[in-house]
Chains A and B, each alone.
Chain A
Amino acid sequence: DTAVSQTPKYLVTQMGNDKSIKCEQNLGHDTMYWYKQDSKKFLKIMFSYNNKELIINETVPNRFSPKSPDKAHLNLHINSLELGDSAVYFCASSQGQGTSDEQYFGPGTRLTVT
C-alpha cells in the first residue's frame, strides 16, 4: 500500500495551460504539504493544510491554488503555467498539527512546461 501517492508522475504541458496534481495519503495524518524542488534540488515548502485548514502559505504566485476536499487529499491546481514552474512537486503528510513531526513524502510529480 502506498502511503502518500501523487498523480500524475510526469506532466508535460505548454505555457498558459492549467493543470492539477493530485495527492492522497492513507496514513490517517492530519497535516499535508506541497513542496517545489527546482533543478538545483532546492526544496521549498509552498503550502501546508491541517484538517483541511491552510496553516502555511508561503510566498507563491496566486496562480497556485491548493484544494483540500478532506484531510486525506490535497490537490494542487496551477493556472496559466509558465516556464519557471517546471520543477518536481512533492506532496507530504505528517501526523500532528504543525511541522514538528516527521513528514512522509510522495514520489513526486515532474512538471515540464514547454
Chain B
Amino acid sequence: AQKVTQAQTEISVVEKEDVTLDCVYETRDTTYYLFWYKQPPSGELVFLIRRNSFDEQNEISGRYSWNFQKSTSSFNFTITASQVVDSAVYFCALSERDNYGQNFVFGPGTRLSVLP
C-alpha cells in the first residue's frame, strides 16, 4: 500500500476557479510531518508548507489553504481563485520513523493545469 496517496492524477480548471488537491497518508508513527511541494514546468521543486502531527490547525497563506484532519489521515490543499501560474505538479510528502529508521515518502503528485 502506498504511504502517500494523491488520488487525482491530473486536474484541469479554468482561471479563477477554486481547486482542492487531495492527499491521504498512512503511518503508524505518532509523531510525523506532512509537506506540500510544487514543481512548475521549469522543473524545480518548491517547498510550500510543513505541518506536524500535533498541529491540526488549518493554515491559510494568501490564496493557498491547507486542511489537516488526523481522523481521516488527510492533508488537503486548496487554491482559491486559481491563476495560470499555479499550473504545476503538486506533491504531498510524509516524514516518519518506521521499523527501519527515518522514512521520507513523496506522493505520486497531482498535475494541475489552470486554463486562461
Residue numbers of A with Cβ under 8 A of B are: 33, 40-45, 48, 55-56, 88, 90, 92, 98-105, 107-108
Contact = CB atoms under 8 A, between A and B. Distances in A.
17 contacts: A40-B108, A41-B39, A41-B111, A43-B91, A43-B109, A45-B106, A48-B102, A48-B104, A88-B43, A92-B45, A99-B103, A100-B33, A101-B50, A102-B47, A102-B50, A103-B47, A105-B44
Contact of B104 (A45, A90, A105): A45
A42 B102 contact: no
Given A99-B95, A101-B50, A56 B102 contact: yes
A11 to B, nearest CB: 15
Interface residues of B, number: 22
A98 B96 CA distance: 10
Contacts of A90: 45
Nearest to B109: A41
